[in-house]
Structure 1
């Protein structure tokens, strides 16, 4: 006889609400409504048996989801001390569950979630709308669930120990304190009914039933105050319910905007969660406003100083056909008013970095971007060409957050020699080098995820830019690096835009400055490279690219520690098609365009290896493989013939080097093939 036929029928006869399960998952749609299909005992063969909580007996279960044997034991003792004796069920020990009945109907309760023993730990009161496994095979252990004391078959729901909602409040509070003493908080306490209040210094969500809906403008204002740096999944899912209740199904874009504040954001998972939410009760806008208020949001006076918005159009004096302008001299003009000639566009570095804009240079750590920018700074300060490209002369301020003064000075002496300054000469007077390693260099922060707040360094930087500029028309400001100066979430478009356009942009406007910001690429930016192109360098939100006028990338060339490639990735005001890359080489402490015999030889050696790789790749896919035709040694004839522009000896030597390094391997009877790129 099947388990479900034998035991589910007995449990139902004893007054339990039962439902068939596959593992821990209910098989029937709408199982919470106790469909009669669950009573077709022959239909579900060896399905696990679930007990539906709630119902006319208000059945509840205390689910102790704790992996630490010690902590689970303590909470089990607290359970029986505070709530009384109850049948106990064990699935994957030391996790355990006790069954009671409540004197009143309640919704589920749950403690905060803590990291204990390397896993999530919490205690949950299962109630109406939930179920637990009473009999069957545990999906993880492969073993049967067991009842070490009395079996549930020996109980009717009326015979269970009765507990009150108030006793459950006190119990959940005690469990919270025990878990807090044993681990680190990962997600805050949650309850549907607002009845758990803990004096732990960490307030609950206290989700409110009133004000379930709201305006998008008010919710967006509150959203800026709700942190989403590292929310636990349960908290994030709970907030999704609140968002959907507050603004309806059409609010998915707003929830995406909130979710994108987290480094764990995934658009597909956000869509899946949102679409899985159907009816939402007892949670909504009030819940979100409560969270925001905890972080300083003024719920009552949120729009006291609010700017004119879409909802104000109907009340606007210009909405009824009145075409009187809201403001005069706002900077707009008609196309008919434009007369030539217009002054030509100015470039700090011709074709690369336009004047009076924000630009970015990406590069992995240690690639030499700080050195290259110091070289550019020397050229701009004297109006001399940089790597053969014209520059615009102006004072320069270079803020260096990763190097101390001694390192900057050593680098400057190497640059002096590169610039042709002898031992008695000096570097440019108009170049101001400002090493700030170890200092607070943050320009802007967003306390609690709310409104932007200037860092103390922003005022210092503005004062320094003004001093360096003096009476000059323009100034170049180099900031190294974004990681030291940006105090927000790099994945959040709003904060990235504010940093680049408002804070760095204000420096451009107020001081007629050009700002070049240095940044490290993200891991995804590094992975975007191929054997033929350097990485894109983008990190976090695409706003890093969209908010600047130009973007360049400095990368090592494959198979070379000395060679660098400087690439234009974006330039709004110049053509980046074709081969605009600049090949540089590390020589005498600076980056230079190869010109010495030794430098050119290194460049040519790398180019030759790339050419050999290409020829081997082509030959491998041909039916008549030139390297297979004459056996393993055929390459000695075939390669020099294919690469006639190189000396045969150099070709064979480079080929042997690639084989030794594992880039090229020989496959018996098939010839040579490329194993890995260089």
Structure 2
């Protein structure tokens, strides 16, 4: 049967240079039923791993260069023709292969491979598929490509050896497990080797394609005529569309054969191995009926797997039967040792067995070779058979209706309608109904800090000096038992002035020593599955009416690989954010920074996907140790920093001090003009630093001081030495910045304090109180003598001087 869209036509001559498909496809776009012309962006030159990462491709692998020297001990050395298309990495003795199905190279390792000449490969699977049209007939390649656009939708294309093309697509998430490798072999009228028939393949899980690099045997690179598409721009298809496309090809292409069905890989661990086995005599009879007309490696591997699974207790006999089947190949020569290598490469647990052999033998002979007892139980004499299983439920008499509906927004409807205000649990730090990550090293106090927040939100108190939204909070705590929680709660209650009777809106779930994974990942497919613990937590949160859920820690609830971007992204979006959506709450997850994150001060952990997937990220740390600083600064002081905020200013920080089992806020630093601490409830770090500098200069009037950063008499260094207790909470750079601001305003000036033994003039610093007033006010006196400044130490004089001097005396001008 032929199809008008494809048409048989005369075979086209072989084409090896040039690719006129572009204009042909453009002209055909308008004729495709139900589709508009493809909107393609300007070409993008993407030839590096970094470029493909920017386009959204994360499953990248290095491709061995066509002229690479192969390691003699590598499996690649046995098939050197694979260079330019196989995955590998450089070593001391040449390029070698590795298990790229389970090993993911870092961006640094990929860039190192690229520097050695590697091409860029992209792994298919996990939502990405590709239609690979492997035909040297320009007519057939163009027709198949046009048909793909009609059935599957528009796609950019990659060219290696023209006119062969590859078209990438995405599969909708719910269909990923239903789409697997497929192939349709056909005769395109060109000259080809017997075992290299033209074909159309569907590359899915377990496959890869070359996206950039040199094509082997040709002095040219792979090309994307319309530019490399970003991952999110790829057309999304369904499993039904894919099945329709390949079924149509099998019926339309000349002399077509479809040996691969396209079912996705299954977890072999779930298969009962005894169900695969069969008797040796039956296996021999079935294999004898199966012709060896398999053109590709996958077909040989399937036969080997089926024989291995059927004869698990007698693998040597299985190898003998497999060899006999391989020897029946008549269209070429099989490489020596191929049959044995393929057979022994199949490892337990097995996925195929006797039923696969029965199915192939039945297909070859047209007879049903499966024993009836596998389908029907024997019926005793006089017993009526139960036929209820063959009745059709009324609910299945009608075709299923599609339930997926897209919500489309017309922005014109927003005209004259005020935008809803953004809501926060804590302004600019914890956005409502989103995922926030709080990182901190072990023992730094992040659990105590978030427990204080939960108590404040439950009782209407301030947290770290800030107003918080009233919340019903569940603490899911994986590292503490109930006794520790009670001790901590008593300390927090004392600091906030509440008692346990006030905690109606707070619940704690101690999970120390329990299995707390909220999701698990299939080791074969990488797919994530939510656990019963996740569902129990969701149900408890719904029953309580929780508006905030705290999860402590990520190490206890995340079962995946910390550096696996796909797993991290799936966990944050499909587990944590889904929890937030289904409960209607905010999720705060606590975690530990990596060693690199601590060293850099960024506080991040593992894959960058953690930072990218959340909407807010906070980092709790100890201050950097400073020589001469009091011990209490490193043991009792903490700094909470906003490292990421999608909806507000990042970079703000709160300095706090541990006291009697709870944290007390000391000061804060935020973005000027947008700080969450601008209302004065928490003293600003800049104001506190200026007040400390002023008070220090007042208390040491005759001290030799300089405003210079590198001077041996640097005011900042000298004051920190003279009064370590006062300056212990301040970072050195903040103190220097405060001094610079005071000097620039003329609030602190140099003045002579005497002479040294050589009668050289010595200088110190003095305060000009009138210049301490807010910027923009008129200047009063141009100078104040030292006696006046010393007298300003009293509270009354300080109140007459300025708000900064008030802070220097311990008074809060905001109150």
Q: Name which one, 1 or 2, has greater alpha-carbon Rg.
A: 2
**Normalised-by-shorter TM-score class:** 0.3 to 0.5
Output the TM-score relative to the length of structure 1. 0.46
